[in-house]
Copies of this chain bind each other. A is one copy, B any other.
Amino acid sequence: MNTANLLNQIAFIKEIDKVKYIQRKTKLFNSDRNENDAEHSWHLALMAIVLAEHSDEPVDILKVVKMVLIHDIVEIDAGDTFIYDSQKNHSNTDEERLAANRIFGLLPKQQADELIAIWEEFEAGETKEAKFAKAMDRLEPLLQNTSNNGGTWKEFDVSYKKVYEKKSVIKEGSSTLWNYAEGLINESVEKGILKNE
Protein backbone atom coordinates (compact mmCIF):
# COMPACT_ATOMS: atom_id res chain seq x y z
CA MET A 1 0.00 0.00 0.00
CA ASN A 2 1.39 3.35 -1.02
CA THR A 3 -0.12 5.63 1.62
CA ALA A 4 1.82 8.72 0.59
CA ASN A 5 0.51 8.42 -2.98
CA LEU A 6 -3.02 7.87 -1.75
CA LEU A 7 -3.06 10.93 0.50
CA ASN A 8 -1.76 13.09 -2.35
CA GLN A 9 -4.41 11.68 -4.68
CA ILE A 10 -7.16 12.36 -2.12
CA ALA A 11 -5.95 15.97 -1.80
CA PHE A 12 -6.26 16.34 -5.59
CA ILE A 13 -9.71 14.71 -5.61
CA LYS A 14 -10.93 17.17 -2.98
CA GLU A 15 -9.38 20.18 -4.70
CA ILE A 16 -10.99 19.52 -8.09
CA ASP A 17 -14.46 19.62 -6.54
CA LYS A 18 -14.10 23.39 -7.12
CA VAL A 19 -14.54 22.80 -10.87
CA LYS A 20 -18.26 22.30 -10.13
CA TYR A 21 -18.57 25.95 -9.11
CA ILE A 22 -17.01 27.43 -12.26
CA GLN A 23 -19.84 28.79 -14.38
CA ARG A 24 -19.53 28.89 -18.15
CA LYS A 25 -21.27 31.45 -20.28
CA THR A 26 -23.12 28.76 -22.20
CA LYS A 27 -26.48 27.47 -21.00
CA LEU A 28 -27.68 23.86 -20.77
CA PHE A 29 -29.74 22.58 -23.69
CA ASN A 30 -33.16 24.20 -23.96
CA SER A 31 -32.71 26.17 -20.76
CA ASP A 32 -31.43 29.35 -19.18
CA ARG A 33 -29.30 27.66 -16.52
CA ASN A 34 -25.55 28.15 -16.97
CA GLU A 35 -23.44 25.06 -17.39
CA ASN A 36 -20.51 24.50 -15.04
CA ASP A 37 -17.10 23.15 -15.98
CA ALA A 38 -17.62 19.72 -14.41
CA GLU A 39 -20.88 19.13 -16.29
CA HIS A 40 -19.26 20.41 -19.48
CA SER A 41 -16.25 18.11 -19.08
CA TRP A 42 -18.47 15.09 -18.41
CA HIS A 43 -20.46 15.83 -21.55
CA LEU A 44 -17.33 16.20 -23.70
CA ALA A 45 -15.98 12.86 -22.42
CA LEU A 46 -19.13 11.04 -23.51
CA MET A 47 -19.21 12.94 -26.80
CA ALA A 48 -15.64 11.84 -27.49
CA ILE A 49 -16.56 8.22 -26.73
CA VAL A 50 -19.62 8.10 -28.97
CA LEU A 51 -18.22 10.28 -31.79
CA ALA A 52 -14.74 8.72 -32.00
CA GLU A 53 -15.48 7.06 -35.35
CA HIS A 54 -15.71 10.51 -36.95
CA SER A 55 -12.15 11.51 -36.10
CA ASP A 56 -10.18 11.94 -39.32
CA GLU A 57 -7.40 9.86 -37.81
CA PRO A 58 -7.80 6.95 -35.37
CA VAL A 59 -7.25 8.32 -31.86
CA ASP A 60 -6.19 6.96 -28.49
CA ILE A 61 -9.63 7.50 -26.99
CA LEU A 62 -8.48 7.14 -23.36
CA LYS A 63 -6.08 10.02 -23.92
CA VAL A 64 -8.82 12.15 -25.50
CA VAL A 65 -11.11 11.37 -22.55
CA LYS A 66 -8.40 12.34 -20.06
CA MET A 67 -7.85 15.59 -21.97
CA VAL A 68 -11.46 16.67 -21.89
CA LEU A 69 -11.94 15.57 -18.27
CA ILE A 70 -9.03 17.73 -17.09
CA HIS A 71 -8.94 20.55 -19.66
CA ASP A 72 -10.74 23.11 -17.47
CA ILE A 73 -9.23 22.23 -14.09
CA VAL A 74 -6.77 25.15 -14.40
CA GLU A 75 -9.79 27.46 -14.23
CA ILE A 76 -9.98 26.80 -10.48
CA ASP A 77 -7.20 29.38 -10.23
CA ALA A 78 -7.34 31.14 -13.59
CA GLY A 79 -11.13 31.45 -14.05
CA ASP A 80 -13.25 30.81 -17.12
CA THR A 81 -12.49 32.94 -20.16
CA PHE A 82 -15.31 33.44 -22.64
CA ILE A 83 -14.27 32.32 -26.09
CA TYR A 84 -15.64 35.47 -27.73
CA ASP A 85 -13.89 37.78 -25.25
CA SER A 86 -11.54 39.85 -27.39
CA GLN A 87 -9.71 41.31 -24.39
CA LYS A 88 -8.16 38.15 -23.03
CA ASN A 89 -6.51 35.28 -24.84
CA HIS A 90 -7.56 31.98 -23.32
CA SER A 91 -4.70 29.80 -24.43
CA ASN A 92 -1.61 28.97 -22.43
CA THR A 93 -1.37 32.06 -20.33
CA ASP A 94 1.22 32.09 -17.58
CA GLU A 95 -1.66 32.10 -15.09
CA GLU A 96 -2.97 28.81 -16.47
CA ARG A 97 0.46 27.20 -16.37
CA LEU A 98 0.90 28.20 -12.76
CA ALA A 99 -2.53 26.77 -12.02
CA ALA A 100 -1.68 23.48 -13.78
CA ASN A 101 1.53 23.17 -11.79
CA ARG A 102 -0.20 23.89 -8.49
CA ILE A 103 -3.29 21.71 -8.96
CA PHE A 104 -1.87 18.68 -10.81
CA GLY A 105 1.16 19.12 -8.55
CA LEU A 106 -0.98 17.89 -5.64
CA LEU A 107 -0.69 14.40 -7.17
CA PRO A 108 2.30 12.06 -6.88
CA LYS A 109 5.03 13.36 -9.19
CA GLN A 110 4.63 10.82 -11.98
CA GLN A 111 0.88 11.42 -12.25
CA ALA A 112 1.32 15.18 -11.99
CA ASP A 113 3.83 15.10 -14.84
CA GLU A 114 1.52 12.94 -16.96
CA LEU A 115 -1.54 15.14 -16.49
CA ILE A 116 0.38 18.39 -16.98
CA ALA A 117 1.76 16.94 -20.23
CA ILE A 118 -1.73 15.93 -21.37
CA TRP A 119 -3.08 19.40 -20.52
CA GLU A 120 -0.19 21.04 -22.41
CA GLU A 121 -0.83 18.74 -25.37
CA PHE A 122 -4.50 19.73 -25.40
CA GLU A 123 -3.66 23.42 -25.22
CA ALA A 124 -1.11 23.15 -28.04
CA GLY A 125 -3.74 21.41 -30.20
CA GLU A 126 -1.24 19.77 -32.50
CA THR A 127 -1.65 16.02 -31.98
CA LYS A 128 -4.61 14.07 -33.40
CA GLU A 129 -5.94 13.51 -29.86
CA ALA A 130 -5.74 17.22 -29.01
CA LYS A 131 -7.43 18.12 -32.31
CA PHE A 132 -10.29 15.73 -31.67
CA ALA A 133 -10.64 16.86 -28.03
CA LYS A 134 -10.77 20.49 -29.18
CA ALA A 135 -13.42 19.56 -31.75
CA MET A 136 -15.59 18.27 -28.87
CA ASP A 137 -14.98 21.46 -26.89
CA ARG A 138 -16.19 23.57 -29.84
CA LEU A 139 -19.08 21.33 -30.85
CA GLU A 140 -20.88 21.14 -27.49
CA PRO A 141 -21.64 24.90 -27.14
CA LEU A 142 -22.64 25.00 -30.82
CA LEU A 143 -25.26 22.33 -30.11
CA GLN A 144 -26.32 24.25 -27.00
CA ASN A 145 -26.63 27.63 -28.72
CA THR A 146 -28.62 26.21 -31.62
CA SER A 147 -30.96 24.49 -29.14
CA ASN A 148 -31.27 27.73 -27.15
CA ASN A 149 -32.49 29.98 -29.95
CA GLY A 150 -29.07 31.59 -30.35
CA GLY A 151 -28.02 31.43 -26.69
CA THR A 152 -24.74 33.21 -26.00
CA TRP A 153 -24.50 34.42 -29.63
CA LYS A 154 -27.53 36.61 -29.09
CA GLU A 155 -26.73 37.42 -25.47
CA PHE A 156 -23.25 38.70 -26.34
CA ASP A 157 -23.99 39.94 -29.86
CA VAL A 158 -21.60 37.54 -31.59
CA SER A 159 -21.48 37.51 -35.40
CA TYR A 160 -21.51 34.65 -37.93
CA LYS A 161 -17.95 35.49 -38.94
CA LYS A 162 -16.64 35.15 -35.40
CA VAL A 163 -18.56 31.93 -34.76
CA TYR A 164 -17.39 30.45 -38.07
CA GLU A 165 -13.79 31.31 -37.27
CA LYS A 166 -13.88 29.82 -33.76
CA LYS A 167 -15.79 26.71 -34.79
CA SER A 168 -13.54 25.92 -37.74
CA VAL A 169 -11.19 24.34 -35.19
CA ILE A 170 -13.58 21.36 -35.47
CA LYS A 171 -12.29 20.82 -39.02
CA GLU A 172 -8.81 20.04 -37.67
CA GLY A 173 -10.16 16.97 -35.86
CA SER A 174 -13.02 15.77 -38.04
CA SER A 175 -14.20 16.71 -41.50
CA THR A 176 -17.48 14.86 -40.84
CA LEU A 177 -18.24 16.84 -37.69
CA TRP A 178 -17.16 20.04 -39.41
CA ASN A 179 -19.62 19.43 -42.27
CA TYR A 180 -22.35 18.96 -39.70
CA ALA A 181 -21.26 21.99 -37.66
CA GLU A 182 -21.01 24.21 -40.76
CA GLY A 183 -24.56 23.21 -41.66
CA LEU A 184 -25.78 24.18 -38.19
CA ILE A 185 -24.05 27.56 -38.37
CA ASN A 186 -25.48 28.37 -41.79
CA GLU A 187 -28.91 27.22 -40.69
CA SER A 188 -28.65 29.51 -37.65
CA VAL A 189 -28.12 32.52 -39.90
CA GLU A 190 -31.12 31.53 -42.03
CA LYS A 191 -33.23 31.17 -38.90
CA GLY A 192 -32.12 34.62 -37.70
CA ILE A 193 -30.58 33.35 -34.47
CA LEU A 194 -27.04 34.29 -35.59
CA LYS A 195 -26.41 37.71 -37.15
CA ASN A 196 -24.92 37.63 -40.63
CA GLU A 197 -21.84 39.80 -40.17
Contacts and interface: CB of A to CB of B under 8 A. Distances in A.
Interface stretch (A62-70, A84-92, A127-135): A62-70
Nearest to A65: B65
A188 interface: no
Contacts of A143: 10, 13-14
Contacts of A29: 14, 17
Interface residues of A, number: 46
Interface in A41-99: 41-43, 45-47, 49-51, 53-54, 61-62, 65-66, 69-70
Copies in the complex: 2
Interface stretch (A1-9, A162-170, A189-197): A1-9
A69 B170 CA distance: 23
A2 B43 contact: no
Contacts of A20: 28, 35, 39, 43
Interface of A: 1-2, 5-6, 9-10, 12-14, 16-17, 19-21, 28-29, 35-36, 38-39, 41-43, 45-47, 49-51, 53-54, 61-62, 65-66, 69-70, 107, 111, 143, 147, 175-177, 179-180
| CB-CB nearest 9 A-B residue pairs | A42-B42, A17-B29, A38-B39, A62-B62, A1-B176, A38-B42, A20-B39, A9-B50, A41-B42
Given A1-B54, A9-B51, A38-B42, 5 more contacts: A17-B43, A38-B43, A41-B42, A42-B69, A46-B70
